[in-house]
Amino acid sequence: MGDHIEKCKFPVRSQQHVTEDTSLSILRDVLPSQWIVRPGEKDYGLDGEIEIIFDDGFVKGNVFRFQAKGHDEVSSARDYISEQIDTSTIHYWLEFPLLIILFVVDIDKRAVFWLDVKGYLKQTCSKTSSKLRSQKTINLVIPKSNILPDTLQDLVKIALSYKEMIANLQENLEKLENLKEQEEDMVVADFIGYHILIKLFNGNLDAYETYLREKGSDEQIINDFPLFSLAQRKGKGRQRFNEPN
């Protein structure tokens, strides 16, 4: 009775927490010492972030997110590991804008295996898409050939290619934004041209074209037709016609 009361007085460190911390320690040991492991919240399917640092020591933002699953022992009967993951976690990973790596740690052998989750789901989408909609969990298959540190360069290659893909996406989005602005400029220019054609040349396109050939540009209209002025659109550098009061 006394022992029972004594035990109830104090919190108990769970075996799950021991396994998690041991797994993270083993993971740190198999990664290059210069890499940065940033543990984070463990409640939403991610255990933290890892930043790849090369021999030059420069910190360049080569990061990916990870989850580590620890097991006392991984079965040696098969050449792969089947890891059960909640589908809600999978959905979260798919929405996350960074590379997600799942690490499976064999604590007994101090071995670490890994899987590019999004790459795996892309390759197996025909098999997994329906399961993601109908099941609470699905099994991810991690090849035992993906063992660290033997396949470290493969992991680095995937991480860098993912970063490049995101950079290209951002560049393309910027190009689309620039095209949108150019289209808006063209609309403004078309309006100006139409305004000039109607107001100054009474809709006579031939007269307008003759004027442009002789004068070289619309800007000469400022001098030739003082009733009109060109005003800069605030912040955009675009031009428009305004009739004076």
SS3 category, 56: coil
For residue 64, list its beta bridge partners: 50
Q: Specify whether 194 is located in the same domain as 117.
A: no
Dist CA 22 CA 117 (whole Å): 22
Q: Specify whether 45 is located in the same domain as 164.
A: yes
Q: Specify whether 76 is located in the same domain as 154.
A: yes
Q: What's the whole-model pTM score? A: 0.67
Q: Specify whether 51 is located in the same domain as 106.
A: yes
Q: Specify whether 146 is located in the same domain as 211.
A: no
For 203, other C-beta atoms within 10 Å of its C-beta total 11
pLDDT digits (tens, 9 = 90+) for 150-182: 999 999 999 999 888 877 776 666 666 666 666
Structural domain of residue 67, as residue ranges? 2-170
The answer to the question of residue 180 being in a domain is no
Confidence at 199, pLDDT banded by 50, 70, 90: low
Confidence (pLDDT) at 2: 53
Confidence at 68, pLDDT banded by 50, 70, 90: very high
SS3 category, 220: helix
Domain boundary among 170, 198, 220: 170
Q: Specify whether 195 is located in the same domain as 144.
A: no
Structural domain count, the chain: 2
Cα distance between the two ends of the chain: 98
pLDDT digits (tens, 9 = 90+) for 102-142: 999 999 999 999 999 999 998 887 677 777 788 899 999 99
Q: Specify whether 113 is located in the same domain as 14.
A: yes
Are 67 and 33 in contact by the 8 Å Cβ rule? The answer is: no
Q: Specify whether 141 is located in the same domain as 96.
A: yes
The domain spanning residue 150 has which CATH number?
A: 3.40.1350
